[in-house]
Structure 1
């Protein structure tokens, strides 16, 4: 997957003379010590991240962890003190004012927590605003604004004023304004945190719906781990201006790597996070016959697979034992459940009735593993770490 946005060794020191603080950071000094000695605040300390094209990358942490500073350094609302912000391989940190303005107008859009709508402008004029700054002709920007308002479900509200809309609707206007510019990257800074819980859930669902259609690259800042799990393809957790853990939502819950990260994960509903692929047992061939390959199943059953790896049928524990002993396969039953590897465990559990075996099959219908009730319950209850490759763990 192409890296749309890459952050390399990014530092932010809130000082007109950041050099002494950067020198102390290079020697391994911490944020607190630098503040005590120099009286300056370190916002970011050597942050590096790669955001793939089309990802929803969640940046989270407690207040003061540096997550909003990080977001604002990417589009240079805050000027980085050192490091690179590579947009499709081009470093935007050295860009002059005119070039940076063009990047903000065409490549990176931002959705703020408090809407930032112009109260004296109608909804459609707010949505057009970025296009107007870009110099787009009136008829074209009106067409585009009407198009995105329809996308976010506000087609009938274009000629109303912001004060006539609910909080959730105003946030949709902010999202529509960002989408209207057709920017490659959306930065969403606590975009839903000011909303009531039910409206917030609706906006999360709306963003997921839009993302399936638009496939934007989204950097989403939040302090809510449940929101990060729901929306994110990857999560980076920050503390003291540093990224202390990043990886997939499932891997972070399985292997937090530190007490700080583990504190976010303790109350997570694992049945809605973990999927069948994570809990399944891989196929174990026990018998080869003319019909195909017999593999054992987690609950004591056996699945018969054809030459393409697709399930022909299932044997109960008694028939499986006979087949092992005799080398011959008896009558196959079709009384089993098939689930995709991405099915959440709560969905799998709902399918588990009367002790029927569960086959995990891929998009082509090929058998890749099996699940029993014990596997489902063990994974939901488990807090034991699991080895996960390709993830970053940094002790804070």
Structure 2
């Protein structure tokens, strides 16, 4: 992919006492044979790319390999086999020092544990990555203040982690991960430790930040509803393998395997199917003054309009051009 900033090419991660010796094995690898030999296959032949500005969600149940894959993508785990490239830098060929610099300059990471330093204020926690790289105190404090304001914590700069709620602490962690303006932003189940209401608020905050910053994001979660809400594309994993990659709409409406079908069965199709997929042909003479629905909205989002309307409603693209019509009958086929 020409516009890919992150690529995984045949990535395997195998654990075991003799795992390092596997690098000399022949080209054909068999996961079941490796397991019979006593190895643990954490990631099996993962291949995909992530476009600049894309929100790519890796999801699966506990033990599926999703967090192991993320650690391979960041270089925290060296891949047993295969290649990971970030902005054309091959992590398998990079020196230890180069990996450290890459994480400081091109990668931002947020984990489930907030990992804040308890003896530092929110401001100093956020500024800490810049302090490590030798940025002048005045500059790093200004940038930390801006980052905290970005995540809605203006006025709380001098609070310590013990004086902040879980949601506030996670916002500090998010601000810290963004302080160096990373090229790729990795988040490993960042909201799992939060209660449901705060978690929903943090998802809203995440979407607000992405609409403003347009970051390239790799987000790991076990929560399908969270994945559907946040993702441009989803990769579903089980037993170390990626079973399907696609938009939320693709995965829910066209599951590739029985496992994926069972996995997504609880998600109403109206929450992922978009107006553009369901709408009928555009009218011969559009009513330019009449009401319109955005073609990118989900059916769930426009349901109120459809129920209140006596007839079909026009659908418009991002430029306001009328591109179709949506009726109750067309919506009903997806409910």
Quickly name the TM-score band, shorter chain normalised. over 0.9
Quote the residue 1:213 is aligned against. Answer: 212
Taking the aligned partners of 1:230 and 1:64, their CA distance within structure 2 comes to 23
Q: Do the aligned partners of 1:337 and 1:356 also contact (CA within 8 Å) in 2?
A: no
Aligned residues: 333
Q: Structure 1 23/261 Cα, relative in aligned 2: closer, same or farther at 3 Å?
A: farther
1:34 maps to 2:34: yes
Q: Which moved more, 1:16-25 or 1:343-352?
A: 16-25
1:252-331 correspondence runs (5 A): 252-283=251-282, 303-305=283-285, 311-312=286-287
Q: Do the aligned partners of 1:58 and 1:228 also contact (CA within 8 Å) in 2?
A: yes
Taking the aligned partners of 2:119 and 2:334, their CA distance within structure 1 comes to 54
Deviations 1:83-123 (A, max 9, x none): 11111222122211111110011101110101011111111
Quote the residue 2:325 is aligned against. Answer: 370
Taking the aligned partners of 2:139 and 2:21, their CA distance within structure 1 comes to 51
1:53 maps to 2:52: yes
Q: Do the aligned partners of 2:22 and 2:80 also contact (CA within 8 Å) in 1?
A: no
| Cα deviation, residue 363, structure 1 | 3.1
Deviations 1:291-348 (A, max 9, x none): xxxxxxxxxxxx332xxxxx148xxxxxxxxxxxxxxxxxxxx8x6421211221233
Taking the aligned partners of 2:206 and 2:242, their CA distance within structure 1 comes to 25
Structure-1-length-normalised TM-score: 0.80
Q: Do the aligned partners of 2:126 and 2:176 also contact (CA within 8 Å) in 1?
A: yes
Structure-2-length-normalised TM-score: 0.94
Q: Structure 1 262/119 Cα, relative in aligned 2: closer, same or farther at 3 Å?
A: same
Quote the residue 1:141 is aligned against. Answer: 140
Taking the aligned partners of 2:279 and 2:309, their CA distance within structure 1 comes to 19
Taking the aligned partners of 2:243 and 2:180, their CA distance within structure 1 comes to 33
1:348 maps to 2:328: no
Q: Do the aligned partners of 1:21 and 1:38 also contact (CA within 8 Å) in 2?
A: no
Q: Which sections of structure 1, spanning at least 5 residues, go unmatched?
A: 284-302, 306-310, 314-333, 381-396
Higher relative contact order (CA 8 A, sep 6+): 2
Q: Do the aligned partners of 1:13 and 1:42 also contact (CA within 8 Å) in 2?
A: yes
Q: Do the aligned partners of 1:112 and 1:191 also contact (CA within 8 Å) in 2?
A: yes
Larger radius of gyration, structure 1 or 2?
A: 1
